[in-house]
Amino acid sequence: MPALPTSPNPDGDPPAALRLGARHNGRSSAVGLGPCAAIQGSQDLYDRPHPGPARPSGTPLRIGDVRLDNRLILAPMAGITDRPFRSLCRRLGAGLAVSEMLVANPAFRGSRKSRERTDHDGEPGPIAMQIAGNDPAWMAEAARISVDLGADLIDINLGCPAKKVCKVAAGAALLRDEPLVGRILAAVVDAVAVPVTLKTRTGWSPETRNLGRIARIAVESGIRLLAVHGRTRACGYGGRAEFDSLRMLRAEIDLPLVANGDIDSPERAQWALRHTGADAVMIGRGARGRPWLFREIGHYLATGERLPAPAPAWVCATLLDHLDALYGFYGTARGLRIARKHIGWYLHAQWPDAGAQGDTLLARINRAETTEQQTELVRSLFAGRPALEDAA
């Protein structure tokens, strides 16, 4: 089996002269950065100086009175970080797994999606629930409900770039209204006794970065940890995440800081920690199809050595356990459908160069009409019976 793909790709941080706008009112002073595609450099950032050694991932991290076993966090991702995936990532080395965002609007309260997103039955603690919305009172009530349902931490979404979220002035859209951000943060912090954290981006666009001011609002409001995705909302997931913004922020605030964005390998995690001085890393898309990435990163940060790539039989068993959990959580009909995207991510991680043959095989698995057929096709693939070359 080919080695698991990694893509540190550490290029792309903006110039060191980037200004966070932390000491200015109005528009951010981050000017002249151009479109997201231009935020790419050729310098190898592994060679850049950094504040010091990365904090050991295995050392505990405290968020208020909540203690994490390590400094590796699964990012909240809508449609992905459900209970089965969170539980799997925790088992494979994540110190915290944040839930999919819960919409604070009371009109959605009690919906099937909301019930599933607040279902943490059997999960190891601490439990972190993310909430999203643009009304301080709704957000405060959503936080109280989440705590009643078992949340040990409340995370506020200030970074989702999705159009359906931003068009209702939630998620990253709030970055354009700093006074409203302050009211929301204060309302949520005042509403609950558990620590409140914030996940954000560096700004609405490259021309209007305001991470410094958002961070100061967070500190003043009582936020206990700040996670930053190194892109603006306008950048979406294009280009490469930049971390100079976090490095500059680290010099200005003492709030626990988490680096997020394109952390898809042990080397990239180590570099992000060293370059930014962050207290932890948050991993999102890099864990899709590779939930054991947390274990690999933890081992690398502790020893400086990579773990061997997991054996195909172990990967197969992990995937089958994941599928079984999805079937149990969603029921067989929905579980069968939801499992398809996860199977695709696992197969891409194992055979990244499969190309059209891999697509053909995946299409064959996706045509399975029962969970039994789906799991048998997965078993057969890893056992080598329908080899990739036979799928064409």
Exposed/middle/buried for 303, CB within 10 Å: 0-12, 13-18, 19+?
A: exposed
d(CA 203, CA 209): 4
Measure the CA–CA gap between 350 and 190, rounded to whole angstroms. Answer: 47
CA nearest 122: which of 91, 146, 101? 91
Task: In whole angstroms, give the CA distance from residue 40 to residue 341.
Answer: 30
Q: Is the peptide bond before 126 cis (omega within 30 degrees of 0)?
A: yes
Do the beta carbons of residue 39 and residue 12 sit within 8 Å? yes
Which residue is it, tokens 């981050």? Answer: 30
Look at phi and psi of residue 304 and say left if phi exceeds 0, alpha if psi is from -120 to 50, else beta. left
H/E stretch holding 155: strand 153-158
User: How many whole angstroms separate alpha carbon 67 and alpha carbon 152?
Assistant: 10
DSSP output for 60-77: -EEETTEEESSSEEEPP-
Element (H, E) at 387: none
Give rounded-to-5 percent helix, strand, coil for the chain: 45, 10, 45
Distance CA 137, CA 85 (A): 31
User: CA dist 25 to 100, 214, 232, Å?
Assistant: 33, 12, 19
CA 50 to chain centre: 24
Cβ–Cβ < 8 Å for 342, 289: yes
Catalytic residues: 160
- Three-class HEC string of 40-64: CCCCCHHHCCCCCCCCCCCCCEEEC
3-state SS assignment for residue 185: helix
Going by C-beta distance under 8 Å and a sequence separation of 6 or more, which residues neighbour residue 17?
Answer: none
